[in-house]
């Protein structure tokens, strides 16, 4: 949507609650004029040089509202590319909301979620991938998620995608030039060179796409479902891994009826632990629903911890062992019979622990997280964390695969190359529609 010169927006950019400082942001052609109306009569618009901060008092009909610091950023050297005024006032419920209402009364309107960043994108201050990184950085809950978002904000992904797109545009330009001179049988690029470029680009894109599984874990966290028979020690293990009592522990089987979650950070990765209902023949409707949720947790998990009581070794279900299952022999502190050799381990990695005493729990915890950190993020590595970017790259690869098959059909090949160019352009925003923009920026918080 277009940015109009007379459309001035405002919002409180800091979260609600009690704090030392709150920041209110105004952006648009009338930002400085509106802000100046709130200040002491001694202030004039001409007093505000670009990129300066001023102490001032805001009054309403002679009554002091607050003492503030007003910072003025002159277009285009501002976050949005427009004139921007930021008012830093005292935190709490009163001052910021009162000042916001005064700004609205003087002609501004309330900003929509993400509208400041949307204007930054529309005014060329950020591309779309960088704009999305702003939201990612704000919502990052772990060190690795924050680092990945910061690299994207710095333009790492955008530069990589733009470089690939530029090579495609060069390839397409030569191909279309050849089509224009088709009657003269002129060849501007050898087919072998064209094919080599196509395959190189596919390799680069596939390498980027391959980072998505790890990138999703960095961004959303790694889900670990703790499953097993009743009384195998699943809830005790959850509490041991989380370092606090999150789940009820009882000798009575079937205590856990719902999925109980605990979120912890380990080695820069968020680990989402899920204690589930014991897998057995359900004794009623409630337990039946709990077991159904357990199976759902298994399907959605990045890793499944199958907990088996060493003193009573049996599987809850024959098909529980999957590719992403770790076999956790629990209660190693108790006397137990020889492990049953007939149990179908299915190639799962095995750990011997005592959830009660903590023996072996630390090693298990670090092995779980190693699934997301085994290829640790290099200082400059770019990874894909957004499903939208993964989808666009996958479509670009598919288009290049089709183009490669049409190497002898320039007209058809050109069409496939255009599809690839457009798919890559969606990542940085060159070829994105208004509907996608609205969907992206609606996920932002108000004030950003």
| Residue 264 vs residues 145, 239, 269, 273, 366: alpha-carbon distances, Å | 14, 11, 8, 8, 12
For every residue of 377-431, which 3-state class applies, written as one string?
CCCCCCCCCCHHHHHHHHHHHHHHHHHHHCCCCHHHHHHHHHHHHHHHHHHHCCC
Tell me what the mean pLDDT of segment 312-337 comes to. 71
Given this model, what pLDDT does residue 446 score? 85
Cα–Cα distance measured from residue 331 to residue 338, given in angstroms and rounded to the nearest whole number = 13
Strand 325-330 to 21-27 pairing: unpaired
Cα–Cα distance measured from residue 315 to residue 318, given in angstroms and rounded to the nearest whole number = 7
Is 209 within 8 Å of 390 (Cβ atoms)?
yes
216: confidence class by pLDDT, cuts 50, 70, 90: confident
Given this model, what pLDDT does residue 80 score? 95
2: confidence class by pLDDT, cuts 50, 70, 90: very low
Query: If you average pLDDT over every residue of the chain, what do you get?
Result: 83
Cα–Cα distance measured from residue 231 to residue 348, given in angstroms and rounded to the nearest whole number = 21
Give the SS3 label for residue 53.
Answer: strand
Give DSSP secondary structure letters for 134-173: HHHHHH--SHHHHHHHHHHHTTHHHHHHHHHHHHHHHHHH
Q: What is the pLDDT of residues 23-47, one digit of tens each?
A: 999 999 999 999 988 886 656 677 7
Q: Domains in the chain, please, with CATH?
A: 9-127 (3.30.1360.120), 133-211+384-428 (1.20.120.430), 218-373 (3.40.50.300)
Tell me what the mean pLDDT of segment 179-189 comes to. 62
Asked whether the CA dihedral 349, 223, 249, 281 is positive or negative, the reply is negative
Tell me what the mean pLDDT of segment 193-217 comes to. 91
Given this model, what pLDDT does residue 398 score? 96
Other Cβ atoms less than 10 A from the Cβ of 207: the count is: 11
Q: What is the pLDDT of residues 325-362, one digit of tens each?
A: 888 888 888 776 555 544 555 566 888 888 888 888 88
For residue 405, which of 204, 178, 186, 195 has the smallest C-alpha distance? Answer: 195
Any bridge partners for residue 27, and if so which? 9, 84
187: confidence class by pLDDT, cuts 50, 70, 90: low
CA dihedral 423, 424, 429, 431 (to 10 degrees): -40
| Residue 436 vs residues 40, 139, 425: alpha-carbon distances, Å | 44, 20, 13
Give the SS3 label for residue 300.
Answer: helix
Q: Is the pLDDT of residue 185 over 80?
A: no
Give DSSP secondary structure letters for 169-224: HHHHHHHHHHHHTGGGT--SS-HHHHHHHHHHHHHHHHHHHTTHHHHHHHHH-EEE
Percent of the chain predicted with pLDDT > 90:
35
Q: What is the pLDDT of residues 57-102, one digit of tens each?
A: 998 888 899 999 999 999 999 999 999 999 999 998 899 999 999 9
Is 130 within 8 Å of 99 (Cβ atoms)?
no
Q: What is the pLDDT of residues 102-158, one digit of tens each?
A: 999 999 999 999 999 999 999 999 999 999 999 888 888 888 888 888 889 989 999
Q: What is the pLDDT of residues 267-295, one digit of tens each?
A: 778 888 888 876 655 555 655 666 677 77
Given this model, what pLDDT does residue 290 score? 63
Cα–Cα distance measured from residue 275 to residue 310, given in angstroms and rounded to the nearest whole number = 19
Other Cβ atoms less than 10 A from the Cβ of 120: the count is: 23
Given this model, what pLDDT does residue 339 score? 54
Given this model, what pLDDT does residue 143 score? 83
Q: What is the pLDDT of residues 391-438, one digit of tens each?
A: 999 999 999 999 999 888 888 989 999 999 999 999 999 888 888 888
Cα–Cα distance measured from residue 280 to residue 290, given in angstroms and rounded to the nearest whole number = 11
Q: Between 1 and 79, name the one with better pLDDT.
A: 79
380: confidence class by pLDDT, cuts 50, 70, 90: low
372: confidence class by pLDDT, cuts 50, 70, 90: low
**Strand blocks (E) in 256-360:** 260-266, 269-275, 303-309, 325-330, 349-352
Q: Which residue has the tokens 């704090």?
A: 19
Q: CA 360: distance to chain centroid?
A: 32
CA dihedral 276, 385, 401, 414 (to 10 degrees): 140
Distance from the first to the final alpha carbon of the chain: 17
């Amino acid at each position: 949507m277009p940015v109009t010169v007379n459309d001035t927006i405002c919002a409180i950019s800091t979260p609600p609650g009690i704090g030392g400082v709150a920041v209110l942001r105004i952006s648009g052609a009338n930002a400085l004029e509106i802000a100046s109306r709130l200040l002491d009569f001694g202030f004039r618009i001409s007093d505000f040089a670009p990129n300066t901060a001023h102490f001032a008092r805001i009054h309403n009909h002679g009554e002091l509202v607050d003492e503030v610091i007003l910072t003025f950023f002159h277009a285009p050297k501002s976050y949005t590319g427009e004139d921007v005024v930021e008012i830093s006032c005292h935190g709490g419920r009163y001052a910021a909301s009162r000042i916001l209402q005064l700004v609205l009364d003087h002609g501004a309107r309330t900003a929509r979620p993400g509208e400041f960043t949307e204007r930054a994108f529309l005014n060329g201050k950020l591309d779309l991938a960088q704009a999305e990184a702003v939201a990612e950085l704000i919502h990052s809950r772990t060190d690795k998620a924050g680092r990945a978002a910061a690299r994207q904000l710095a333009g790492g992904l955008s530069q990589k995608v733009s470089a690939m797109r530029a090579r495609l545009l060069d390839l397409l330009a030569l191909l279309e030039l050849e089509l224009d001179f088709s009657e003269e049988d002129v060849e501007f690029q050898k087919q072998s060179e064209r094919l080599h470029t196509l395959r190189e680009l596919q390799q680069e894109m596939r390498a980027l796409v391959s980072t998505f599984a790890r990138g999703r874990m960095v961004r959303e966290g790694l889900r670990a479902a703790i499953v097993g028979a009743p009384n195998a020690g699943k809830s005790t293990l959850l509490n041991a891994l989380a370092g606090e009592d999150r789940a009820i522990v009882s000798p009575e089987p079937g205590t856990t009826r719902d999925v109980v979650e605990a979120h912890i950070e380990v080695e820069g990765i968020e680990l989402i632990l899920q204690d589930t209902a014991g897998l057995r023949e359900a004794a009623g409707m409630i337990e039946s629903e709990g077991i159904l949720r357990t199976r759902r947790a298994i399907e959605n998990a990045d890793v499944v911890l199958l907990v088996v009581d060493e003193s009573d070794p049996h599987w809850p279900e024959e098909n529980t062992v999957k590719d992403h299952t770790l076999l956790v022999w629990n209660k190693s502190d108790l006397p137990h019979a020889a492990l049953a050799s007939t149990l179908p381990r299915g190639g799962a990695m095995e750990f011997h622990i005592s959830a009660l005493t903590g023996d072996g729990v630390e090693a298990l915890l670090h092995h779980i997280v190693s699934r997301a950190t085994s290829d640790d993020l290099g200082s400059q590595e770019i990874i894909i964390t957004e499903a939208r970017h993964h989808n666009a790259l996958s479509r670009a690869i598919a288009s290049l695969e089709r183009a490669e098959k049409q190497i002898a059909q320039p007209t058809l090949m050109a069409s496939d190359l255009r599809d690839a160019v457009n798919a890559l352009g969606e990542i940085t925003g060159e070829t994105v529609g208004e509907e996608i923009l609205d969907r992206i920026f609606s996920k932002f918080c108000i004030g950003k």
